[in-house]
Chains A and B, each alone.
Chain A
């Protein structure tokens, strides 16, 4: 059995009150409640305030490149599919710089859990708009207001083939823990979009704002109904944020079709040495 202490690394450098604190705690609690150890999970971190969690949580981890955490996680999973793999990323990281990887990881249904810190700004570079910013939002990089409309990440994930799409709120630790645990139980590409206030650079989407605009999906909600799930995802346009598992579908994960011998991790398989067999086609 592990404890929170086992997973606790350096003291976080996040701003006091930042949503990252809650997300970091919830992830550790989920690991502990699932009986995992720091040595039994691989985490791929992006770059940003979210990615800085690398030093604050213990695991086999890679703090890679901005936007590329999903791509890195894809490789980790294929090399050793017996270990759970998750990616800890921000909204700019995942939906902006890494948008292409996000899209194609949905299609591939790679068995990785992507935890998106959705705070609508670039915190670490001091507050420029992210792809989640509302149209018209002013920032240092968009002094006249951002021209683009925001990404709709839940609908994007559902339509591109993700098999587990959930949303939770950094102000509700218990809900985050439960949602993360469900994501880890799921086999396939799972995204958990965490609504996260940035207390330093984002003045609209505060804890108080989200308290008023989030609501929990009730027990009767059926996440296997794709059209209904899309309708829930589209509620972002009405400033309504459903919390819980919005969509879930069974589909073989990428590694289950890509790794020839699924009983053994790629790294532990017997070395192929029948080289004579290969040269026949060169004769």
Chain B
């Protein structure tokens, strides 16, 4: 069963912290969650909302209906009542407004409690959490222990005060509305779960991958990679640098990579736009770099705090001139960790830029994942640095022509030799050249690397659902996986025959492994993307020669929903 709790209120009053606490409590009580936040690009004012979908089974998207809505102001009810189920439970402050309609009102005297305990407005969140846990059949044990840890440094009095607010909210429900309590958050024992968002998953993967240098300039929705890695810096030893602009960001990271450190950068589309000249340099100098690109609706400043998959083709074509690069687009949080580990290896093995595509939805939504599912993978991971070498003799050539196009890459400092990495076209030894024959040799050498990638590392799209029986086959990429998986599950339960083909290895593409997947004339293929142009569709047209007659394209800044899939089957 899936059950949606949502809280809303004025921006700047702790909604995001409260929502995340709710998710963590649900996960601590061994339920699975998927959550997402709605907020304007403001610090104060405007409407904030946080929605958590709680489930007995792994869950990877939000659902259509809201079961419990916590309204810290009237606007919350007005904005979200249309998504509430019949007899949805509405938690509200009777001193502020009274909700009407086909609902179960759960009044909680927020204002009165604040007065009684002389609390600040922000404590409404704590009251709301207490009330929410009560109505969903949980006790306050997890919340109380979180307070003990969170406020340990501030002393017993602060811990106790927070606990009192939560208790007041809890009691308000239990005293007056006990008959409406539903056992959603009963405690189970299914193993430790992490509540992690996509940016944290990338950060965690980067540390596990032994990335030693991360450089960025803040840009929503990529900024929290910078802040997460910076917060960990003292522990991990990673040098995390907030540089003056995105151009400095990537050139510094390429400098660090040249010197031998695994290096990475991150931004959203606007910052990425400033980086593309250096991505091209990474291509010709053959210096590895991992670029985290979290998309948001563009063009230009666009809608900073909303979601879109609008930069697939930009990522693929980012960088002037012709050079190989690899684009990966993880579909969910677990895949984000796996593909981040892979991205650092691929950058080193092929000495190319590797772009990891995320978007606002994947970057900021939290998902619960079983810790043991990733712990093993991370612990057994050993960085594969490809042909990176620590010593060489006088005959060393940085751009040596080899059978696979990949030349040994020497860490600067070996005393027997030296070399230059050159952004000009160069000879095998790195010196600048304008020779026609040498030019062809180096262009071909760089291109050759991707032939090896195709045979050794390219992974064909994954299939969700039974493709053999499916009449309708959806085709998508990146964060669409979450909602598509849920939609296919739901469709199957409804007796409908559908499947989903998911792309994570976006570029380059192996034509032979893909064409057969989308060429059964008895099936209806539907392209599904969170953009207006159908960029994967264009890519497949260009690379594979297939085109899509049917499309679901969403570009209002909101995430795709299961219902958009279901109604097309």
Residues of A bordering B, CB below 8 Å: 9-10, 37-40, 42, 44, 47, 52, 54-55, 58-65, 67-68, 71-76, 78-80, 83, 100-101, 103-104, 258-261, 266-267, 269, 271-272, 274-279, 282-283
The prevalent SS among residues of B at the interface is mixed
Contact A64 B281 (CB under 8 A): yes
Within 8 A of A (CB), among B246-265: 247-248, 251-261, 263
Q: What is the minimal beta-carbon distance from A20 to any residue of chain B, in angstroms? A: 15
Contact B417 A74 (CB under 8 A): no
Give the CA-CA distance A44 to B257 in the complex, in Å.
13
Q: Choose from A63, A267, A272, A277 the contact partner of B260 (Cβ within 8 Å).
A: A267
Contact A100 B255 (CB under 8 A): no
Check if B200 is an interface residue, CB within 8 A of chain A: yes
Given A64-B423, A78-B213, A266-B213, output 5 extra A-B contacts at Cβ < 8 Å. A60-B420, A61-B420, A74-B248, A258-B239, A272-B210
Check if B69 is an interface residue, CB within 8 A of chain A: no
Q: What is the minimal beta-carbon distance from A27 to any residue of chain B, in angstroms? A: 15
Check if B241 is an interface residue, CB within 8 A of chain A: yes
Q: Choose from A42, A63, A67, A269 the contact partner of B412 (Cβ within 8 Å).
A: A42
Give B415's nearest chain A residue, CB to CB.
A39
* A-B pairs with beta carbons under 8 A, tally: 194
Selected A-B contacts with CB under 8 Å, 22 pairs:
A39-B415, A42-B258, A47-B423, A63-B432, A64-B285, A65-B281, A68-B248, A74-B252, A75-B215, A75-B254, A75-B255, A76-B412, A79-B258, A80-B261, A104-B248, A266-B212, A267-B212, A267-B261, A272-B235, A275-B378, A282-B200, A283-B193
Contact A63 B416 (CB under 8 A): no
Q: Choose from B234, B285, B412, B431 the contact partner of A55 (Cβ within 8 Å).
A: B431
Give the CA-CA distance A38 to B420 in the complex, in Å.
11
Residues of B bordering A, CB below 8 Å: 24, 27-28, 192-196, 200, 204, 207-208, 210, 212-213, 215, 232-239, 241, 243-245, 247-248, 251-261, 263, 277-278, 281, 285, 371, 375, 378-379, 383, 411-424, 431-432
Contact A65 B277 (CB under 8 A): yes
Q: Choose from A52, A67, A275 the contact partner of B208 (Cβ within 8 Å).
A: A275
Instruction: Report B-chain residues with C-beta under 8 Å of the C-beta of A276.
Output: 375
Instruction: Report B-chain residues with C-beta under 8 Å of the C-beta of A103.
Output: 244
Instruction: Report B-chain residues with C-beta under 8 Å of the C-beta of A78.
Output: 213, 239, 241, 252, 256, 261
Q: Choose from A44, A60, A104 the contact partner of B244 (Cβ within 8 Å).
A: A104
Contacts known (A39-B416, A278-B207); A71 close to B252, Cβ less than 8 A: yes
Contact B258 A62 (CB under 8 A): yes
Contact B415 A267 (CB under 8 A): no
Q: Choose from B207, B371, B421 the contact partner of A272 (Cβ within 8 Å).
A: B207
Contact B237 A79 (CB under 8 A): no
Contact A39 B414 (CB under 8 A): yes
Q: Choose from A9, A266, A275, A278 the contact partner of B261 (Cβ within 8 Å).
A: A266
